[in-house]
Amino acid sequence: MKGKQIAMAVLTAGVMLMPSLVQARHAAVSGAVTIVHADRLAKNLQVRGSSDTKILDRIQNILRTQEQGQTVPEQKNLPEKQGLARWYMNSRDEGGTLLFSDSPEYVNQNGILYQDSVRGDARVLFYHLNSSDEPKKLAVVLKNEYNGKNTVTVTRGGSGQPSDDYLKVGKATQLEYFSQERNQKISLQPGMSRLLQENMNMTILQPGELTYGVFDFHAEHSVLVSVIMLDAYGDPVTAVENLPVLPKDAMRLRGTFKGMNRVLSARKVYNPGEDGGVYFMLADDKTDKYRTGIDATDGSAVINYGNYGINYRIELPVEAGDVDYYLSPLGGVYAGAMRSFKATKTYTLFPTPGERPYFGDRTAPESYAVQSQREAGKWQLAQNTELAPLGESVGQGETVFEFSPPGASNLPVAVVMLPKK
């Protein structure tokens, strides 16, 4: 990217988005009841915890339908210009530890891509491409560092099938990650090593293919977590003992980050009749700062450009009136999903966008003046600004959104709240 886009957008979860790869991205879901918000697809995409439908089958159906373009357009018909004011949010980081592995993104030899010890609540995110000329495997190996029995419980996770369609991999990964809670127990005796997911030993990356995964887990005692690349027919558990730690690439996107979740809460209750249209930014490193951490392999300080692997909880109370919510991509092409909560165990899934694999390519780049004005707190929403619907709220109450920056998408994005008219 050139010009202003370099200043306002981080590229992908590996900071490498090529024009020829501008295709599908990813999406997100989770909870007890899932409703995919795409009007024409309601019959096919509504998920209500059916026990006879596999998660991956649902994901493939969603992706297949999106690619065929069988949804109504979601672009809101706006006046020529819609003036918006910044909505101020309080931010705090909480939760366990994020282990982020995305450097080297393009891997051409066997080795350890990232490694650190963790205890308690944790999340591991890996995003790597096989750039060698041979089939490979990527695996996450857990080694018990405690002198007694240790139990690791995987509470949530997803990993798209490896493919050279990188954006589709990302979309499938987040769909699976947010689709359901898990309760997978991994028992480790002293000094014992096991895979985080057994299917990692059977998943092959052909040359040029990407693998991307996100897994939440809880370790009762300390475990050494190793993300490794190895030969297609090697044994990860034994191979990790002899593999070298590979050096970072120029982007240095790997590290350990304390506080794997971010809570954004509105500073005041929104009254659409009085406040009018408002917006706030996500992952812009201005109002929503990037996380800093440490690369445990060499002790250096690192920055998570894009806050990849950070889960956001966005709390938006409304005083009265009806509100429409939207997501708008400002850094370029983007695909993902968000979910909103209206009750404790009920959520609604919103692909962003739902009508096609990605969006953002039709939004004209901001001029320097418009960008400066938006960053100062006033934004003119132009006719060609793309918006993905995130549902609506009616009357007094609070809408809570869950969001995580999708790998392979451009940032930042804006959340827009408009009085319903």
Q: pLDDT digits over 46-101, tens only? A: 332 333 334 444 444 444 444 444 333 344 444 446 799 999 999 999 999 999 99
pLDDT digits (tens, 9 = 90+) for 186-245: 999 999 999 999 999 999 999 999 999 999 999 999 999 999 999 999 999 999 999 999
Higher-confidence position of 63 and 315: 315
Q: Does 155 score more than 50 pLDDT?
A: yes
Give CA separation, 343 vs 268, 340, 347, 400, 401, in Å.
21, 9, 7, 10, 12
Alpha-carbon distance of 389 to 364, in angstroms, equals 19
pTM over 0.85: no
Alpha-carbon distance of 308 to 404, in angstroms, equals 7
Q: How many Cβ atoms are within 10 Å of 188's Cβ, its own excluded? A: 22
Intra-chain end-to-end CA distance of the chain, in Å: 37
pLDDT category at 35 given cuts 50, 70, 90 is: very low
Alpha-carbon distance of 276 to 148, in angstroms, equals 59
Decide: 313 and 151 in contact? Cβ < 8 Å: no
Type of residue numbered 186: I
| Assigned token pair, 350 | 């919103």
Which residue carries 């997100």 as its tokens?
28
Which distant-in-sequence residues (6+ apart) come within 8 Å of 255 by Cβ? 100, 114, 293, 294, 295, 296, 302, 304
Alpha-carbon distance of 404 to 283, in angstroms, equals 10
Q: How far is CA 276 from the centre of its chain?
A: 30
pLDDT digits (tens, 9 = 90+) for 245-285: 999 999 899 999 999 999 999 999 999 999 999 999 999 99
Higher-confidence position of 37 and 262: 262
Lowest mean pLDDT among 7-16, 200-209, 240-249, 352-361: 7-16
Q: Does 311 score more than 50 pLDDT?
A: yes
Size of the chain in residues = 421
Strand 278-282 relative to strand 311-318, pairing: unpaired
DSSP SS3 for 125: strand
Give CA separation, 81 vs 201, 238, 253, 370, 381, in Å.
54, 61, 38, 12, 5
**How confident is the model at residue 346, as a pLDDT?**
79
**How confident is the model at residue 81, as a pLDDT?**
61
Alpha-carbon distance of 103 to 297, in angstroms, equals 12
Decide: 160 and 134 in contact? Cβ < 8 Å: no
